Structure 1
Amino acid sequence: MLLAVMLFSAMDTIIKALSAHYPPLQIAAMRGALTLPLIALWIQWRGSWAAVWQARWPLHLLRGGLVIAMLVLFTYGVRGLPLTHAYTLMFFAPLLITVLAWPVLGERVPRAHWWAVGGGLLGVLVALRPSAEGFASWSGLAVLGAAVCYAVSAVVTRLSSRTDSKDSLVLWVMVILTVVAGALALPQWLPLQAHHLPLWAGLAASGFLAQLAITEAFRHGQASAVAPFEYTALAWSLGIDWLVWQQLPDAFTLLGGAIIVGSGLYVLRHEQVHATAEHP
């Protein structure tokens, strides 16, 4: 999950850079189209084409629609918000995943996880201190909508993984993203500029690897246990701010980051102790 967060942070940085030049639907469609060849090569290398056809299509269609909505809303949002501010709003997703894990997945959510998620959210507020203006803006509302779509998509991924292969989960969401977002983007499609080609290549690579990593994370771990580690995106966003915009974190940011990391480590430690107690 930590690797997935790092890769998604890189992808989000590229999306923010491209959002100033291309419509959100076009960026979503291009992400799918550029990633599909990599996924096909991956499946060919694994020799697992037969497994991808064993799919629960209603769940795949639902997940594909959620991913399209998430990407479009997030791209629109980061066009008007700093990446760190957008991440503040996106951190609503882990809490929602934990809330949905019990009624949708039937997973038992230990009290420790609730405390950890609450602690993580507290750390986000301490570190980033989101303003009322950011939450009330259209950009802020768009990112909040993206957070909801992501949380529901993550739970659907976990539900689908009970019967469908990892390759199936990765392939079909990209096919749906490419076809549906591409069709919707055609009326406002803009020509690609040559100097943006490295960004498009980076978007394809980071998106492909991140999709594999996050699918694997939710496939093998309880959603309520995996979700809190998404708070580590705070560290990546701060690093990006420093490298790209030469901004250093203040004391509040460092304190909030410590709370967030501590919350994630607490969940990990709790899971390890619980697993040891059940299987000594």
Structure 2
Amino acid sequence: MTPYLRGILCMLGAVAAFSFMDAGLKALSAHYGAMQVAALRGLASWPLIVLWSVANGGVGQLVRVRWPLHLLRGALSVAMLSSFAYALRYLPMTEAYSLFFVAPLMITALAGPMLGERVGWRRWVAIGVGLGGTLVILRPSGEGMLSLGGAAVLVSAASYSISAITGRILGRTDSTPAMMFWMITLLCVFATASALPDWKPVLAQDVWLLVGVGLSGTLGLYGITEAFRLTPASVAAPLEYTALAWGLLFDWLFWSTLPEARMVTGAAIIVIAGLYLLKGDRGHEG
């Protein structure tokens, strides 16, 4: 299996794992604050990632790292998870995912100046079309623009995009275990410290939910770290769109909700733009 294909498969697996995790975060967000949900997500995965990191390279690799970029990714992970957890409290998973789909477009736009990857004029047109799709989801009347849930998803998408780019830069020098370890460790430290003033005791019935979040979050973090290490950011990022199928399934199974026509239209515009970006990378770009 080539690294390119392995990266694509890792991304597909990561999206599936994170979709299960997000369903758990949505359930937790009904009882806990957004920052505590982010902290619980990190704490649930931390023991697994520590064991895996030590078993795959030892402790030495965790020290010889590029600290400034790891600190940046830690802060971005807090912003990404807390804002997304806040959004899930008010939005169906499908709508939150549809807005989050601007992230691949942001990543492609940032890949040029930050990674030196070529982004031609056709891709810039596709990025503009995709961003137009977010306006459809947010309602052209401006009603959705005032939605805190919608704004929180966009903050989460921007944080994720910058984190993905820095992850690809780190992948040139740092190991996958080191990247996973420091991202989740810094998430635990930053999010827990921020959540402590309003911390609520964890309910006994939520323990198994946290176990599921920890397992799926660990698998997802491994998959996405490998994906952005092995493949160009502009190839891995559009595969995020497979999350829409998971979101539709979970909204229907667990919350008995179906998307509105407006949301489907906006999501279709964003997905088509993103798939064009993927097609352009596999072919020639002008």
Q: TM-score band, normalised by the shorter chain?
A: 0.7 to 0.9
1:176 & 1:101 partners in 2: Cα distance?
25
Q: For 1:219, what is the secondary structure of its paired residue?
A: helix
Choose from 71, 77, 80 the match for 2:87. 77
Q: Give CA deviations for 1:193-232 in whole Å, capped at 9, x if unaligned.
A: 1111111111101111110011111111111222111122
Q: Give CA deviations for 1:245-280 in whole Å, capped at 9, x if unaligned.
A: 344568887777777666666555554456xxxxxx
RMSD: 2.7
Change (3 A) 1:130 1:4: farther
Q: For 1:192, what is the secondary structure of its paired residue?
A: coil
Q: For 1:55, what is the secondary structure of its paired residue?
A: coil
- 82-91 vs 51-60, which moves further: 82-91
Residue of structure 2 equivalent to 1:277? none
1:202 aligns with 2:212: yes
Q: For 2:186, what is the secondary structure of its paired residue?
A: helix
Residue of structure 2 equivalent to 1:176? 186
Contact 2:105-2:274 within 8 A present in 1 as well:
no
2:239 & 2:131 partners in 1: Cα distance?
12
Contact 2:18-2:220 within 8 A present in 1 as well:
yes
| C-alpha deviation, 1:244, in angstroms | 1.9
1:7 aligns with 2:7: no
1:17 aligns with 2:16: no
Choose from 194, 218, 236 the match for 2:228. 218
Q: Which runs of 5+ in 1 are unaligned?
A: 275-280
1:268 & 1:90 partners in 2: Cα distance?
17
Contact 1:9-1:233 within 8 A present in 2 as well:
yes
Q: Which letter does structure 1 place at the counterpart of 2:66? A: R
Name the TM-score, length of structure 1 as normaliser. Answer: 0.86
Change (3 A) 1:91 1:173: same
Residue of structure 1 equivalent to 2:47? 37
Name the TM-score, length of structure 2 as normaliser. Answer: 0.84
Contact 1:11-1:202 within 8 A present in 2 as well:
yes
Contact 1:116-1:228 within 8 A present in 2 as well:
no
**Superposition pairs for residues 121-140 of structure 1, below 5 Å?**
130=139, 132-140=142-150
Q: For 1:104, what is the secondary structure of its paired residue?
A: helix
Contact 1:6-1:233 within 8 A present in 2 as well:
yes
Change (3 A) 1:121 1:244: farther
**Superposition pairs for residues 35-74 of structure 1, below 5 Å?**
35-74=45-84
Aligned length: 274
